[in-house]
Chain A
Amino acid sequence: MSGLGLFTRTRWADRAGLLSVLTITLMTLAAGVITPFDPQSRVAAAYLAPSAAHWFGTDEIGRDLFSRVLQGAQLTWLPAVTVIGLALFFGAAVGLVSGALGGWVDLTLQRVVDLFLVLPPMLIALTVVAVLGPGIVNTVIALVIFWWPWYARITRDEVRRLKGRPHFEAAQLGGIDPFCLWFRYLLPGAVPALVVAATLDVANVVLAMALMSFLGLGQPAPAAELGAMTARSLESLTVYWWLPILPAAAVWLMCLSANLAGDGLRSVLRGA
C-alpha cells in the first residue's frame, strides 16, 4: 500500500489523527528548541492571562505556561512511546516464540501471559510506582510490565494462524533456515494488528502517566508534569482558569490524536 493510498482512503478524522500524532512527536522531540521561553525560570509577572506574548498565560510564579506545557508534553509523550516500544519488543518476542514453537513452551508462556492479563493493570502499576518511589524509570518499568502481555497474546494468535497457511508449509519444505522462517514468514503477519493496538495504547499510556502525575507519582516538583500542573492549580480554576485547564487539555489532545490515528490505521489496514 502506498503512503498516498493511506491518506486518500481515510476519513478526515483519521487523517487529522495521523497528522496530529506526527506533529506532536516532532514538537515533543524539538521541545528544547521551540519553547519560546525557559520553562523553569520566571519570565514575566505571575498570573498573566493568555495573550500574544504568552500564548497560554503565565503561572503562579511567572513562568511561561506554553513552554511548560510543551515540556510537560515531552515528558509524557516520549516516555509513553518508549513504554509502548519496549512492551511491543518483549511482547512480540514472547508471542513469536510461544506461537512458533507451540507445545509445552506455548502452554507455559501462555499461562504466564494469562496471569498478567487477569491482574488489574492500572492499580498494580500505581502501587508499584508508589512503593518504589516516583521517577521516570520506575514509571516506565511499571507500565511495561503490565503492557507486554497484550502484545504477546496478539502476536501469538496471529503466528498460530499463519503457521497453518500453505505459504508457511511451502517455505518449511523449501528448507529455509528456521530463524529466517520466523522473522520473514511469521512475524510480519502480526505487524498490522500490533501497529493498531500499539497506536491506540499510546493514548492509554498517556492517560495512565497523566493520572500518576496528578496523584503526585510523577517526577518531582520543578519538572513540568502535566497532571501535576493541573493538580496543583485546582483551586485557582475560578480565577485563573488557564492554569488547571490548559495542561489537562494538552493531555486530552495527545490522547485524542493517538486514538484517532489508531482508528484510522485500523480501518486502512482492515480494508487493505
Chain B
Amino acid sequence: MPYIVRRVIGLVIVLLAMTFIVFCLESLVPTDPARAMAGVSAPISTVEMVRQQLGLDQPLPTRYGRFLLRLIQGDLGMSVRTRQPVLNDIMRYLPASLELCAFALLGGALLALCLAMLQGWFPNAASLRFAITAAGSAPIFLTGLLSAYLFWFVLGWLPGSGRLTGRSFAGPTGFNVLDGLLAGRADIVVDAIAHLVLPGLTLALPIAVAIGRSLAGALHDVMRQPYIRTARGKGLAEGRVVLCHGLRNAASAPLAMAGLQVGLLFGNLLIVEQTFAWPGIGLYMVQAFASSDLPAILGASLVLGAIYLAIGIVIEIAQSLADPRITLRA
C-alpha cells in the first residue's frame, strides 16, 4: 500500500481512539448531565425525561456512535461559559495560537542551531552544558514572568500583553503578521511581530534546548564521518561544510525531537497565553478550566490533538526529505 494511504488509515485509528478517550471522559464526569440540565430540584420524572431527550438512556456504543456522528458534522457542543458553539469559539481563537506556535517553533529551531554550534565549538565546557540544562529546566511560568518583568515592565523594550497595541484590526486569515502584509500595513506587521517576541521566545526556550542538545549529539557523530573530511579536503568553507553537508545528515533525530516538543508546547501554550494575555485557544482552555466548561475543554483538546497528529506526519515527511535513506513506512 502506498505510504499516504497507510498513514491516513493509521491517523483515522488514532483519531478514533482520541474521540473515544474524550467520549469516555465525558461519561466519566462525576456530575449527571441530565440532572444538571433539569435543575437541582427537578423531580425524578423530569430528570428521566431529559435523560431520554438527550439520549443518555441509550447503551454506551449507541451513544458513542451518535457522538461520532455529531463530531463529523463539526458539532462539538455548546460552550457553557460563552454560550456559543464550541467550534465557532475555537475557530475564532485558533489563528492567534497557531501564529504564536509557528513563531515559537521557528525561533526555537534557530536558537537550537545556535546552541548546537556553541556546543560544537566547546565540546568539553561543563559550564556551557550546565547553563543549557539550567535554561531548559526552568518552569515556563518563571521564564515568562521574568521576561515580561524585565523587557516589558522595567526596560519597556517590548510589549508583554495582547496581540496589538490599542487598535482593532481583523484580516481574512486571522494571522496578524500575514494580514498586515496582505493589507500592506507595515505598522501592523511591526506591531504584531513586537507582540510575538516575548511570548514566542518564552515558548521557544525549552524547545531550543531540547532540539539543540539532540542536534549537538547528532552533529558530533556526523562531523567525524569520512565524507565530511572529503568536503573539507576539497576546500569548502567550514560554514558550508556544517550547514550543507553535516546538518542535513544530522537532521533526523532533532526533527523527531521537534515533533515531541510540539506535544509539550501545547501544554506550555496554556501558561504563556495566560501570562501574556494572548487571546488564543490556550487562554480559552484556561478560562474553560476555571469555569468547568466541559464541552469547551474537550473540544479544544480534540482540535489541538488533531493538529498535533497532522504535525507528526509533516515531521515524518521532512525526515525523509532530509535523509533519503529513511523510507516512508506506516
Q: Give residues in A with beta carbon < 8 Å to B.
A: 11-13, 115, 118-124, 126-128, 130-133, 203, 207-208, 210-211, 214-217, 227, 230-231, 234, 237-238, 244-245, 248-249, 251-252, 255-256, 259-260, 263
Interface of B, helix, strand, loop or mixed by DSSP: helix
B142 contacts A by Cβ under 8 Å:
yes
- Do the beta carbons of B139 and A255 come within 8 Å of each other? yes
B142 and A123 contacting across the interface, CB-CB below 8 Å: no
- Whether the Cβ atoms of B139 and A121 lie closer than 8 Å is no
Which of B91-99, B111-119, B267-275 lies at the binding interface? B267-275
**Given the known A-B contacts A120-B308, A132-B25, A259-B137, are A252 and B142 also in contact in the complex, defined by CB atoms under 8 Å?**
yes
User: Could you tell me the distance in whole angstroms from the C-beta of A134 to the nearest C-beta in chain B?
Assistant: 9
Complex-state Cα separation, A248 to B138, whole angstroms = 8
17 more A-B contacts (CB under 8 A) besides A119-B17, A132-B25, A215-B286?
A: A119-B18, A122-B263, A122-B268, A123-B308, A126-B267, A126-B270, A132-B30, A210-B139, A210-B141, A211-B141, A216-B290, A237-B145, A238-B153, A248-B145, A255-B137, A256-B134, A259-B136
Known A118-B309, A215-B286: A230·B297 in contact at CB below 8 Å: no
A208→B267 CA distance, assembly (Å)? 8
B304 at the interface (CB under 8 A from A): yes
Q: Which residues of B contact A124 (CB under 8 A)?
A: 21, 301, 305
What residue in chain B is nearest A258 (Cβ atoms)? Answer: B137
Q: Which of B145, B298, B305 contacts A119 (CB 8 A)?
A: B305
Given A121-B263, A130-B289, A203-B137: A251 in contact with B30 (beta carbons within 8 A): no
Interface size class of B (residues with CB under 8 A): 35 or more
Contacting pair A131 B294 (CB below 8 A): yes
Instruction: Let me know if B264 is at the binding interface, CB within 8 A.
Output: yes
Q: Are B290 and A211 in contact (CB under 8 A)?
A: no
The reply to whether the CB of B126 lies closer than 8 angstroms to some CB of chain A is: yes
- Overall SS of chain A's interface: helix
Nearest chain B residue, comparing its CB with the CB of A257: B137
Q: How far is the CB of A55 from chain B (nearest CB, A)?
A: 19
Q: Which residues of B contact A259 (CB under 8 A)?
A: 133, 136-137
Q: Is B29 an interface residue (CB 8 A)?
A: yes
B1 contacts A by Cβ under 8 Å: no
The answer to whether A132 and B305 have CB atoms under 8 Å apart is no
CB pair B271 A120 closer than 8 Å: no
Q: List chain B residues, Cβ under 8 A from A216.
A: 289-290
Q: Output the nearest chain A residue to B141 by Cβ-Cβ distance.
A: A214
CB-contact partner of B130 in A133, A217, A260, under 8 A? A260
Give Cα distance in the complex from A217 to B297, angstroms: 13
Question: Is B149 an interface residue, CB under 8 A from the partner?
Answer: yes
Contact A211 B140 (CB under 8 A): yes
12 A-B residue pairs with Cβ-Cβ distance under 8 Å, sorted by A, are: A118-B312, A119-B17, A120-B305, A123-B267, A124-B301, A126-B301, A131-B297, A230-B142, A230-B145, A231-B141, A238-B153, A245-B142
The answer to whether the Cβ of B237 comes within 8 Å of any Cβ in the partner chain is no
The docked-state distance in angstroms from the alpha carbon of A238 to that of B129 is 32
A127 x B142 contact (CB < 8 A): no
Report whether A123 and B301 are in contact in the complex, using a CB–CB cutoff of 8 Å.
yes
On whether the beta carbons of A211 and B268 are closer than 8 Å, the reply is: yes
Q: Which of A11, A126, A208, A227 has the most CB of B within 10 A?
A: A126
Question: Given the interface contacts A11-B126, A252-B139, does A115 sit within 8 Å of B14 by beta carbon?
Answer: yes
Q: Are B271 and A215 in contact (CB under 8 A)?
A: yes
- The answer to whether B175 has its CB under 8 Å from any CB of chain A is no
Q: Which of B1-38 contact A (CB under 8 A)?
A: 13-14, 17-18, 21-22, 25-26, 28-30
CA distance in complex: A248, B140 (Å): 9
Please tell me if B266 contacts chain A, counting CB pairs below 8 Å: yes
Q: Which residues of B contact A122 (CB under 8 A)?
A: 263-264, 266-268
Q: Which one of B17, B26, B130, B266 contacts A123 once the chains associate, using CB atoms below 8 Å? A: B266
Closest to B149 in A: A237
Q: Identify which of residues 48-93 in chain B touch chain A, using a CB-to-CB cut-off of 8 Å.
A: none
Q: A11 CA to B126 CA in the complex, in Å?
A: 7
Among B271, B294, B312, the one with the most A-chain Cβ atoms within 10 Å of its Cβ is: B271
B136 and A123 within 8 A (CB):
no
A4 CB, min distance to chain B CBs, angstroms: 20
- In the complex, what's the smallest C-beta–C-beta distance from A197 to chain B, in angstroms? 13
A123 lies within 8 A of B304 (CB): yes
Q: CA–CA, A132 to B290, complex, Å? A: 13
* Bound: A15/B244 CA distance, A: 38
**Residue of B whose beta carbon sits closest to that of A210:** B139
Residues in B135-174 with C-beta less than 8 Å from chain A: 136-142, 145, 149, 153
CA distance A69 to B294 in the complex (A): 32
CA distance A230 to B139 in the complex (A): 11
Docked-complex contact B21 and A211, CB < 8 angstroms: no
Max chain B C-beta neighbours (<10 A), residue from A123, A210, A259: A123
In the assembled complex, the CB of A212 is this many whole angstroms from the nearest CB of chain B, namely 9
Do B133 and A13 have beta carbons less than 8 Å apart? Answer: yes
- A11-B126, A123-B308, A259-B137 known; A131-B298 Cβ under 8 A: yes
Are B137 and A131 within 8 A (Cβ)? no
A255 to B133 Cα, complex, angstroms:
10
